[in-house]
């Protein structure tokens, strides 16, 4: 089921009404990433204000999710002696069937089921598992006692205002895309849900020649699940074969198509499902239903014919769902933005919640999470963050800027000061207005890293955007950087001391100097341009101060949070501390490690992961703790620069058929990059350099990259597949383009009809002038054929535009695993992240190079 964007606060208000002293605590399952962490901070603030008890459980991957289901979720069910409750998933579970994963699916007799456990899912990853979006929980109808999947206030998976909680189930929070974009998938899924049981096509050949035999004369067949592995599937064609789900070694299931629901109890007439009457007859016109002897009754269709028709419908709808899953990975609205929308609907927004939302949204840029999945962010001349995630990302940031202006009005006494040294002048703020100032401000942030906490030189040196374009990995690139600073009039003495200690005049004029000299070196998007009018500040970032203690940009805060989750404690930055700390997956198997040693490593890794989560969680609300870990972030990004430079200088980046490949297997920082987050940041740095060195092929080709990091202690590689596309168009933009095409097609159709009518009248006039009778002119069949072709072309064009440039490494990984039998573990929520045995990597990559990795 899904909750439309307009009703985002309804479920929370229902939870608030049902809250009482004996109510079970709300369980929060939170992914280990800055966006989900910020969303958790916002949500827990709301729960605390309303005195709603809650418990937070960090989730590192599908293995953790399975254990949380066993230990925490299933005991909540009323059928297990629990009292029900609410489970909220933040950045967790959107791509798998959560009813099955959490053990909330009932059997055919309605036993078990959700047990009054309601699961809310907020996840930015796409594609959705459609079982979560359009499915309904299995329950018993109190009036008839039958097991059904229907609830009051639910229409084809959509919740309405009349929905009343209490029966449990999976509820997805829609960010707007489900309503706007998944109409065809909704129709297909619901049609398959309502479709009666039907055998496979080969069963028709075994049927008796007596077509009039009643259905009851045939042996009943069990409806097959779409994810069920069955021998008969091997004999089916590609179009007829339902897509299977690949089960990872960790025990989690990665979906390709949603699971088919169990058959409903009660008889469903086959002909009724097809729109016919209960006696398997179909009428071509209303007259055929009358008892008039002058009208012959149509011939009844055979059971075999009806079954063939049902199977054709099933294959058609299955194809619609398969196309959706094959589009590839993408990212929609950040989870922190969705939760802040909930707070705004409740009227609870304040600066703390707004700051958490801004940091969460900003963090997605660091990990390359765009509308085309994990890949390079599209860059624009607007500078700053204006290019990230296309128009959709800019709309989100524009709304956040409006919130900043609303919640942080300028004091009338400081208007003159702000005009000279504040936001209006475009000066990058580095200090608070007063000792008690905790406001959020807009700032023309350059694409530098940790500028306020590093020297200007170090900040520019470690900027992925600037280092790629200046070729900073070699001596000639370093000299380019020195020349740029010299042209700006900044001495090496000034730029190599802490930025906050630089000459005040240099800091005030830094933005203007960058705007003047950066384009000389191809750095047009390095700094946001001056506002086009009074209120437009495209590409501007966000800064918050905590009195005289610190001043941080949102990007800086996101960088620090990510470093805490990926590296750990800044006080123990040594190689030995990373042996198990960077292990994201927490469940080992016999084919990945050995016995008791594996279990001990897993337990130690779990403790490290939990400690990191709580450190990052506390840092969001403690500026002292956040500042303490600035050194951690600097350490990580120094390692990225060192490792990336080494790979390029030693020419260890290979160019395969469909992508480029790099492997980190030696060096002082090798253990750092066994964490998928750190490895992704390194891959993005390398991809920027590849594009600058070799250019691109076409609009988005050229930066597809597979990056592998060796974890020698466990004998495996962590692999990340980086797509090469930028942000795709949003659902609204695609709908607008489609409507424009339809309007254009209607105009052409009307013009053709007018032309045909004109020719027809001319022919009639010629016949009358010749003394012949009026002749009826038949329309050409070619016109109808052209219209059908236009419709087909329009649908294909829309489908191609919808999936253009998306990261399809997740799909490709599944295909290669099925073909090669490589020993892999897919425990990460990112479909483009896997772990693979050392011995299997070369064969795996060789086969992967033959696959389509970008849509």
Q: 759 pairs with which residues across the strands? A: none
* Spatial separation of the C-alpha atoms in residues 765 and 772, rounded to whole Å: 10
Lowest mean pLDDT among 439-443, 573-577, 762-766: 573-577
Q: What is the mean pLDDT of the chain?
A: 77
As a whole number, mean pLDDT of residues 112-122 equals 87
* Distance between start and end Cα atoms, the chain: 28
Higher pLDDT: 689 or 537? It is 689
* Spatial separation of the C-alpha atoms in residues 479 and 485, rounded to whole Å: 10
Share of the chain above pLDDT 70, in %: 70
Alpha helices in 259-350 (DSSP H): 270-273, 303-325, 335-345
Q: Report pLDDT for 271.
A: 34
Confidence label for 23 from pLDDT (cuts 50, 70 and 90): confident
Residue 574 has pLDDT above 70, yes or no: no
* Spatial separation of the C-alpha atoms in residues 531 and 559, rounded to whole Å: 27
What's 760-805 look like in SS3? HHHHHHHHHHCCCCCCCCCCCHHHHHHHHHHHHHHHHHHHHHHCCC
Lowest mean pLDDT among 133-137, 552-556, 781-785: 781-785
Q: For 394-408, write each residue's pLDDT tens digit.
A: 889 889 999 999 999
Q: Looking at 452-538, which runs of residues are DSSP E strands? A: none
**DSSP 8-state class, residue 299:** P
The dihedrals phi and psi of 570, each to the nearest 5 degrees, come to -65, -20
* Spatial separation of the C-alpha atoms in residues 752 and 748, rounded to whole Å: 6
Alpha helices in 367-410 (DSSP H): 390-407
Q: For 310-351, write each residue's pLDDT tens digit.
A: 888 999 999 999 999 988 888 999 999 999 999 999 999 999
As a whole number, mean pLDDT of residues 67-89 equals 91
Q: Within 10 Å of residue 654's Cβ, how many Cβ atoms?
A: 13
As a whole number, mean pLDDT of residues 35-46 equals 96
Burial class (CB in 10 A: 0-12, 13-18, 19+), 598: middle
Q: Report pLDDT for 434.
A: 87
Cβ-Cβ contacts under 8 Å for 513 (sequence gap 6 or more): 488, 489, 490
User: Collapsing DSSP states into helix, strand and coil, what is residue 382?
Assistant: coil
Is the Cβ–Cβ distance between 783 and 752 less than 8 Å?
yes
* Spatial separation of the C-alpha atoms in residues 614 and 730, rounded to whole Å: 35
Is the Cβ–Cβ distance between 428 and 443 less than 8 Å?
yes
User: Collapsing DSSP states into helix, strand and coil, what is residue 539?
Assistant: coil
Confidence label for 529 from pLDDT (cuts 50, 70 and 90): confident
As a whole number, mean pLDDT of residues 758-779 equals 68
**DSSP 8-state class, residue 724:** -
Confidence label for 287 from pLDDT (cuts 50, 70 and 90): very low
Q: For 415-472, write each residue's pLDDT tens digit.
A: 655 555 444 456 888 888 888 889 999 988 888 999 999 999 999 999 888 888 899 9
Length of the chain counted residue by residue:
855
**DSSP 8-state class, residue 501:** G
Identify which of 42, 49, 44, 52 has the alpha carbon closest to the alpha carbon of residue 16: 52
Confidence label for 107 from pLDDT (cuts 50, 70 and 90): low
What is the chain's percent helix, strand, coil content, to nearest 5?
Answer: 50, 10, 40
Cα dihedral 470, 474, 476, 482 sign:
positive
């Amino acid at each position: 089921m899904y909750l439309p964007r307009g009703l985002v606060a309804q479920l929370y208000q229902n939870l608030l009404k049902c809250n009482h002293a004996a109510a079970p605590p709300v369980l929060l399952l939170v992914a280990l990433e800055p966006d989900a962490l910020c969303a958790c901070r916002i949500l827990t603030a709301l729960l605390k204000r309303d005195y709603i008890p809650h418990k937070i459980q960090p989730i590192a991957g599908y293995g953790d999710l399975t254990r949380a289901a066993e230990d925490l979720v299933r005991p909540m069910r009323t059928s297990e002696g629990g009292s029900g409750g609410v489970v909220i998933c933040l950045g967790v579970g959107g791509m798998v069937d959560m009813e099955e994963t959490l053990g909330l699916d009932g059997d055919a007799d309605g036993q078990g089921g959700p047990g009054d456990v309601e699961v809310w899912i907020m996840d930015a990853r796409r594609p959705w598992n459609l079982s979560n979006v359009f499915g309904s929980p299995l329950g018993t109808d109190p009036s008839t006692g039958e097991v059904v999947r229907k609830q009051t206030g639910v229409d084809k998976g959509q919740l309405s205002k009349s929905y009343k909680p209490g029966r449990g189930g999976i509820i997805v929070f829609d960010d707007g895309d489900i309503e706007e974009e998944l109409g065809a998938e909704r129709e297909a899924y619901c049609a398959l849900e309502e479709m009666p049981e039907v055998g496979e096509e080969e069963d028709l050949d075994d049927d008796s020649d007596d077509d009039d035999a009643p259905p009851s004369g045939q042996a009943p067949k069990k409806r097959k699940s779409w994810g069920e592995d069955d021998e008969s599937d091997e004999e089916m064609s590609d179009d007829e074969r339902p897509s299977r789900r690949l089960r990872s070694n960790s025990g989690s299931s990665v979906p390709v198509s949603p699971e088919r629901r169990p058959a409903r109890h009660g008889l469903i007439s086959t002909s009724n499902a097809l729109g016919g009457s209960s006696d398997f007859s179909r009428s071509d016109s209303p007259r055929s239903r009358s008892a008039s002897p002058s009208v012959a009754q149509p011939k009844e269709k055979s059971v075999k014919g009806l079954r063939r028709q049902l199977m054709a419908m099933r294959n058609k709808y299955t194809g619609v769902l398969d196309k959706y899953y094959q589009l590839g990975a993408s990212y929609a609205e950040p989870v922190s933005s969705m939760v802040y929308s909930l707070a705004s609907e409740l009227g609870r927004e304040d600066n703390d919640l707004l700051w958490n939302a801004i940091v969460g949204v900003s963090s997605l840029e660091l990990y390359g999470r765009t509308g085309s999945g994990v890949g390079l962010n599209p860059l624009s001349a607007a500078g700053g963050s204006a290019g990230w995630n296309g128009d959709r990302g800019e709309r989100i940031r524009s709304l956040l800027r409006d919130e900043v202006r609303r919640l942080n009005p300028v004091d009338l006494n400081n208007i003159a000061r702000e005009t000279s040294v504040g936001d209006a002048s475009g000066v990058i703020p580095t200090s608070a207005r007063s000792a008690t100032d905790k406001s959020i401000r807009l700032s023309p942030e350059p694409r530098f890293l940790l500028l306020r906490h590093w020297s200007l030189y170090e900040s520019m040196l470690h900027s992925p955007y600037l280092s790629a374009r200046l070729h900073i990995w070699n001596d000639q690139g370093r000299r380019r950087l020195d020349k740029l600073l010299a042209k700006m009039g900044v001495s090496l003495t000034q730029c190599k001391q802490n930025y906050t200690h630089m000459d005040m005049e240099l800091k005030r004029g830094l933005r203007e100097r960058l705007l003047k000299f950066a384009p000389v070196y191809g750095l047009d998007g390095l700094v946001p341009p001056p506002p086009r009018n009074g209120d437009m500040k495209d590409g501007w970032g966000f800064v918050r101060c905590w009195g005289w203690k610190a001043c941080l940009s949102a990007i800086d805060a996101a960088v620090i949070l990510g470093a805490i989750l990926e590296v750990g404690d800044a006080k123990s930055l040594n190689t030995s501390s990373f042996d198990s700390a960077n292990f994201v997956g927490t469940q080992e198997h016999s084919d990945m490690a050995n016995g008791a040693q594996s279990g001990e490593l897993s337990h130690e890794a779990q403790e490290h992961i939990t400690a990191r989560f709580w450190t990052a969680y506390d840092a969001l609300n403690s500026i002292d703790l956040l500042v303490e870990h600035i050194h951690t972030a600097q350490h990580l990004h120094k390692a990225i620069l060192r490792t990336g430079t080494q790979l390029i200088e030693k020419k260890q980046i290979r160019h395969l058929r469909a992508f480029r490949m790099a492997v980190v297997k030696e060096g002082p920082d090798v253990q750092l990059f066994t964490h998928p987050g750190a490895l992704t940041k390194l891959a993005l740095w390398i991809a920027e350099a590849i594009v600058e060195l070799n250019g691109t092929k076409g609009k988005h080709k050229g930066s597809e990259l597979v990056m592998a990091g060796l974890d020698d202690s466990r004998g495996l590689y962590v692999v990340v597949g980086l797509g090469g596309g930028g942000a795709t168009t949003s659902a609204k933009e695609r709908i607008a383009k489609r409507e424009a095409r339809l309007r254009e097609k209607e105009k052409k159709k009307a013009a053709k009809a007018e032309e045909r009518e004109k020719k027809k009248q001319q022919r009639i006039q010629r016949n009358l002038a010749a003394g012949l009778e009026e002749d009826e002119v038949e329309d050409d069949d070619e016109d109808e054929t052209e219209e059908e072709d236009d419709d087909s072309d329009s649908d294909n064009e829309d489908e191609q535009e919808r999936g253009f440039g998306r990261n399809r490494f997740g799909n490709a990984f599944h295909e290669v695993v099925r073909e090669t039998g490589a020993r892999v573990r897919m425990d990460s929520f990112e479909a483009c992240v896997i772990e693979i045995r050392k011995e299997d990597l070369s064969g795996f990559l060789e086969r992967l190079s033959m696959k389509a990795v970008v849509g």
